[in-house]
Structure 1
Amino acid sequence: MNTHQTPAQKITKSYVDRLSTPETGQAFIRDTELKGFAVRITSSGAKSFILEKRIDGKVKRLTLGRYPELTVEQARKEAHKLLGHIATGRNPVAEKKQEALQGTTLKQAFDDFVKTRKNLKERTLYDYRRVMSIIFADWQDKPMIDINKDMVSKRHNKIGAERGEAYANLSMRFLRALFNFAIAQYEDGSGKSILHENPVVRLTQTRAWYRVERRQTVIKPHELKPWFEAIMNLKNDPISQNRETIRDYLLLVLFTGLRREEAASMTWANVDLQAKTLRVTDTKNHSDHNLPLSDFLYDLLQNRKARAINEYVFHRASGTGYVSEQRKQMAKVIKESGISFTIHDLRRTFLTIAESLDIPAYAVKRLANHKMSNDVTAGYIVTDVERLRQPMQKITDYILKCAGYRPSATVTDLSEKKSHKTS
């Protein structure tokens, strides 16, 4: 913006009224009586009073107010007051910014958090929004500075009693992340954080986090047959046209160990039926995940490809998007088979079977797409997708034998085998 310098004048009401509007940019007229005091006029004709002063080694420009809402005398008095503050070591710029930011609400911070964290996965963003709208609905309009440790502790206990201990911990981990973001994001003019402490630290200081054992459930070998039969009984009908798609989705998770969203959002662009491979690009560890297709998976995906109606492998019957709600059909399988399971149980089952078949540890890690950044040896091992083909087929064959889709074989209870190894 063009800035026009005008000779200093004594700033009075009559002088401000007579000021000419610059054709472009803005013009500054500095006062001859009070150093740093000035009036600014823009090409739109807007007039405002400012104060320029060196603060903490840098010249700062403070806007006092617009004319005529603020009179010349009022502006001059405000300038005198601020100069007095600066003389005693105060920083009006920092104070003004701090005052504005102290009113930042939890919702405003969350909105800024989402804008800044551009790479949040769709599922993660969905979970965060759900926690905001359900768990912290009554806190959304609260200034963050007013949310204290006692409030956090009481809310943690309330969530634990009403929604479960795991969900209480999850909600507070989210709140902790939001406060950490705000501490780093909102600083006053001196670069000091507006928030001095994360109130969620109370849970750590008092050791109040719930001890939630990591879930270790899998579908045991002897349970695969009834589970498989119930899955294969999912057939489309006039009421539900997505059953067979959900059936194939659950089977793919079991036979690949992919995570919930990685499998659900898979597109045909990442499936190579000719090379018999699939690729997952939007992974938890941000590394592309390439897997070979076993014979069973190849047949499953080939059949789906013949009926494809959009870019997604597991498309909705409506033709838009992919299936994201599987609970109703999972409940049907659980009721029919008597085998309770979650989608992540299918991933655990895949990896437990892989380990039980004495597949090399590095191959298991590659199949799971686990990072091996702390393993020096792993850094020297290049695992091509073709080297995973035999282990992949071996896992598939075992699952199908247990499910009765191959000639009978002696089936070891993996849970017992694991207990012997760890005892």
Structure 2
Amino acid sequence: MSQKLIKTFIDSIPHPEKGQKFYRDSEIKGFGLRVGTTSKVYIAESKINGKTIRVTIGKHGIFTAEQARNQAREVLLKMAKGINPNDEAKEQKARSMTLQNVFQDFLAARKALKHRTIYDYKRIMSTYLADWNSKAIAGITKDMIAKRHAELGKTSKAQANLTMRFLRALFNFAAGQYEDSKGQSLILGNPVKRLSQTRAWYRVQRRQTVIKPHELEPWFQAAMSLKNDGLSQNRETIRDYLLLILLTGLRREEAAGLTWNNIDLKSKTLKVINTKNHLDHTLPLSDFLYDLLQERKTHAINEYVFPKVSGNGYIVEPRKQMAKIIEQSGVTFTIHDLRRTFMTVAESLDISAYAVKRLANHKMNNDITAGYIVADAERLRKPMQKITDYILKCAGYKPTTTTADLPAGTLQNDA
């Protein structure tokens, strides 16, 4: 339908009950009106490289017919030159996207991110990049990257590298997420590459700290002294959480997120389904851990083995209680040190390298022999018990009752 689009005619057009109808202007080819069930919108359309491109100008009532016609002339002139106004709009939007906008889109797209990973990313955004959150991502330059990396490195080289690796991931995401109609990225280049080009990344030695055998006794005594009281009702939960990591080598998030659905007390196993390498990880329970979990089960308040006091969700990193253990024992440690301690003990006991890797849930993609070895939970039971026995012996512990209810006074030296 072709007729000059003027106010009186447009006002007389009824809204369809469903769908939409188009009305073409008789004076300017490509200028038209799209009428929907609730709105009337001016448009301009033409072909670019054989493909019909439609551009929205604005709603009738906000634009007059004459204003829309003048705007359509400008749009159609660009399209005649092969310029897609929609791409210009997308580019303008992409260039105005702030770092915070990109981060929110990143989180929405990466649905499989672990709770702890999201927590770490948010901490970086709010701590090390707080003054950049409202900056347009396209305005973050290589010089800014180099300067911020150097500034952060004065306090922590590891944190400086971590922040920039995270920022590099955001730029890579933006480059793939924001594209024009031809599939060309609207974010050109990743400024974090400057650090590689100038070899500015810090050399950070991987932590190798463990709890040494002679430190296990004071550490164990301090951990076992954590008891619930009127001030804190989750000390025993934290105690059991730390003990489980020490005696299984699980990563902190794997242990914290354990649910009772994945604890089988009949078969004396636990299973982690949300692992770093995305492979389910089933471990046998040593006698100590079996007693610990059996006792915890009698006091379960939600689906998590290590719940928050509120009963909503599971515990986060227990820094306050860890600080108490450090102060009382004189043994400085991180949660990952407990995993390293488990691994170090396993290797020191001449346990098969394949069993050690299975216990740690490390992939063995490049080891052909490993592919022929079936190491189920039962085959790992003896090595697991051996590791637990050694750690408890070093800790001076002799079981006399259920471990979860063990008073600190029962710890003994195994002379």
Q: Which runs of 5+ in 1 are unaligned?
A: 1-6, 411-423
Q: 1:95 to 1:318 in 2, by over 3 A?
A: closer
Query: Structure 1 counterpart of 2:65, which letter?
Result: V
Unpaired segments of 5 or more residues in structure 2? 399-411
Q: 1:387 aligns with which of 346, 357, 379?
A: 379
Distance 2:11 2:260 in 1: 69
Counterpart check, 1:396 vs 2:388: yes
8 Å contact from structure 2 (residues 45, 76) kept in 1: no
Q: Which residue of structure 2 aligns with residue 235 of structure 1?
A: 227
- Name the residue aligned to 2:261: 269
Whether the 8 Å contact between 2:41 and 2:58 is mirrored in structure 1 is yes
Residue 168 of structure 2 aligns with which residue?
176
The partner residue of 1:105 within 98, 101, 116 is: 98
Query: SS at the partner of 1:190?
Result: coil
CA drift of 1:13 comes to 3.9
CA distance in 1, matches of 2:11, 2:232: 74
Tell me how far apart the structure 2 counterparts of residues 323 and 23 of structure 1 sit (CA, whole Å).
Answer: 54
Indicate yes or no: 2:3 matched with 1:9.
yes
| Residues 1:33 and 2:27 aligned together | yes
Aligned residues of 2:49 and 2:82 also touching (Cα < 8 A):
no
- For the structure 1 residues 304 and 19, does the alpha-carbon distance in structure 2 shift closer, same or farther, using more than 3 Å as the test? closer
What letter matches 1:60 in structure 2?
Answer: I
The one-character-per-residue Cα deviations of 1:358-398 (angstroms, maximum 9, x if unpaired) are 11111111100111223222222221110000110111111
What residue in structure 1 maps to residue 37 of structure 2?
43
1:223 to 206, 215, 222: 215
1:128 aligned onto 2:132: no
Once the two structures are superposed, the pairs formed by residues 273-422 of structure 1 within 5 Å of their partners are 273-405=265-397
Q: Is the 8 A contact 1:97 1:189 kept in 2?
A: no
Matches of 2:104 and 2:27, distance apart in 1: 46
After TM superposition, the structure 1 stretch with the greater mean CA deviation from structure 2, 134-143 or 153-162, is: 153-162
3-state SS, counterpart of residue 32 of structure 1: coil
TM-score where L is the length of structure 2:
0.92
Partner Cα distance (1:122, 1:356) in 2: 33
When the two structures are aligned, how many residues end up with a matched partner? 402
User: Which aligned pairs between 1:75-86 and structure 2 lie closer than 5 A?
Assistant: 75-86=68-79
| From 17, 24, 29, the counterpart of 2:18 | 24
After superposition, the Cα gap between the structure-2 partners of 1:244 and 1:64, relative to the gap in structure 1 and judged at 3 Å, is closer
Residue 217 of structure 1: SS of its match in structure 2?
Answer: coil
> Could you tell which deviates more after superposition, 244-253 or 323-332?
323-332
Query: What is the DSSP-based 3-state SS (H/G/I as helix, E as strand, rest coil) of the residue aligned with 2:274?
Result: coil
Q: Residue 303 of structure 2: SS of its match in structure 1?
A: coil
**Following the alignment from structure 1 to structure 2, what is the Cα–Cα distance between the partners of residues 13 and 313?**
68
3-state SS of the aligned residue for 2:154?
helix
Structure 1 position 149 matched with structure 2 position 133: no
Check if 1:70 corresponds to 2:63: yes
Task: Point out the more displaced range, 247-256 or 30-39.
Answer: 30-39
CA pair 89-307 structure 1, distance change in 2 beyond 3 A: closer
Deviations 1:207-238 (A, max 9, x none): 11111100001111122122222222222232
Farther off after superposition, 188-197 or 273-282:
188-197
Counterpart of 2:206 in structure 1 is: 214
Higher mean C-alpha deviation, range 26-35 or range 311-320: 311-320
Equivalence for 1:413: none
Partner of 1:417: none
Q: Secondary structure at the match of 1:8?
A: coil
SS in 1 for 2:276: coil
Aligned to 1:53: 46
Deviations 1:54-81 (A, max 9, x none): 1132111111222233233333332222
* TM-superposition CA deviations, 1:88-109 (whole Å, max 9, x none): 2322221122122221111111
What is the rounded CA distance, in whole Å, between the counterparts of 2:315 and 2:34 in structure 1?
59
User: Secondary structure of 1:81's partner?
Assistant: helix
Identity %, equivalent residues: 62
- Partners of 1:126 and 1:390 in 2: CA distance: 37
Q: Secondary structure at the match of 2:96?
A: coil
- What residue number does 1:95 align with? 88
| 2:407 corresponds to | none
Distance in 1 of aligned mates of 2:107 and 2:296: 36
